[in-house]
Structure formats: C-alpha cells, structure tokens
Amino acid sequence: MPNTIRIHSFPLSGHAHRAVLFASLAGIKHEVIDVDLAGGEHKREPFLKLNPAGQVPVLEDGDTVVTDSNAILVYLARKYASSYLPSDPVLEAEVQKFLTLAAGEIAFGPAAARLITVFNAPYDMDFTHAIAAKVLKKLDTHLEGRDWLVGDAPTIADVAIYSYTAHAPEGGVSLEPYAKVRRLLTNIEALNGFVPMPSTAAGLNAA
C-alpha cells in the first residue's frame, strides 16, 4: 500500500465513523483528518475541491478521491479487504441490500432522530421514530439464527448499519426491544480494530 489513506471525517458523524471504523477493522493504514463542520470548513476551499457537495466523509487514496460513506466501504473492501465483500453474486446482492437500508431507512429513522436531539435538525421526531421502529424490527427479524447480516462472517453490511444503530438511543430510540440487533452490535464491537464513535448526552443518554 504505497500511500497512506486519508479519511476526512467529523467525530460525531455516523457516516464518517463507518468509513473510519471499516479502515480500522480491515487493518488498512489510514490517517483521520477532522473537518471543522461548525466552522464551515466543509463549505469552502480546499475541501470543496475534494467534495463539491461539502460533506464528510471523503477518502483520498493517492490520486483517487471517493465520496459517500457506502461508496468508500465498497472501494476499500474491493481494493484492500476483499473478505468483507463476498464475490458470490447472491451474497454480494445481500450486502448491497443492507447498504441501501443504511442509506434509506436507517438514515431517515435512527440517524435523523439523533440529528434532532444532537444537532437540533428540523425534522419530525414522531416520523423518525416510526421509521426507526420499522427498520430495527426488520433487522431483528433478519438476524434470527444469525451472528452477522450476510453469511457467516462480518461484511461491510454490518459496518454500514453499525454507527447510527448503536447510537440510536441518542435520538430517543430504545434498543431494548431488539435483542438480536444488540447482539450484532456486540459482535461488531468485539472485532479486532473496533473503534467507537463518541457518545453524546442526548435522547435516552441524557443525564
């Protein structure tokens, strides 16, 4: 690996955390560069040259720049950690299904609920909680008899859903009804190289 990978991140972003988490789990040498979102660093140059959308995470691998957290997971797995993205077409399709879930129902459910309590985002809490309950039940049902979302080993599917699911209580979403989801989170946290995302005292975690 000739170049040290650079991941432009923000500590409280679950999207950024999934990129950093995967690089660490996969043993990929990388440097984390924190972006000052509060100061607007992501909305001006030179950051906008990397990602005109002005969002984290951004990955630099030599001359290659990859934006979008799930795209970063796919890129890193394909190039450096192929065991995390199965080559079997059926299993790969399953992984892609959970990447879509992470970008859809998880983003609009537990992630959005957390945005309300942590960042005062102008979303509808009842709507986000309804979506969160739906997706967590879906995950819990899927995990019956399984240790991982796809196949018999961790994949980028598990990484993609981890950050916002683990931090759902910060958005007022309890994980207590979802024992199998909590078991999956514990399994991920037990992997070598696991790095946590900082917690915030919000939602169910408020003092």
129-160 confidence digits (pLDDT tens): 999 999 999 999 999 999 999 999 999 999 99
Residue 133 burial (CB < 10 Å; 0-12/13-18/19+)?
middle
The number of beta carbons lying within 10 Å of the beta carbon of residue 124 is 11
Please name which of 29, 33, 32, 31 lies closest in space to residue 81, comparing C-alpha atoms.
29
User: What SS3 string covers the chain?
Assistant: CCCCEEEEECCCCHHHHHHHHHHHHCCCCEEEEECCCCCCHHHCCCHHHHCCCCCCCEEEECCEEEECHHHHHHHHHHHHCHHHCCCCHHHHHHHHHHHHHHHCHHHHHHHHHHHHHHHCCCCCHHHHHHHHHHHHHHHHHHCCCCCCCCCCCCCHHHHHHHHHHHCHHHHCCCCCCCHHHHHHHHHHHCCCCCCCCCCCCCHHHCC
* Global pTM value: 0.95
pLDDT of residue 2: 52
Please name which of 130, 144, 187 lies closest in space to residue 162, comparing C-alpha atoms.
187
Does the pLDDT at position 76 exceed 50?
yes
Of 137-151, 174-188, 193-207, the least confident: 193-207
As given in the structure block, the two tokens for residue 44 are 């001006």
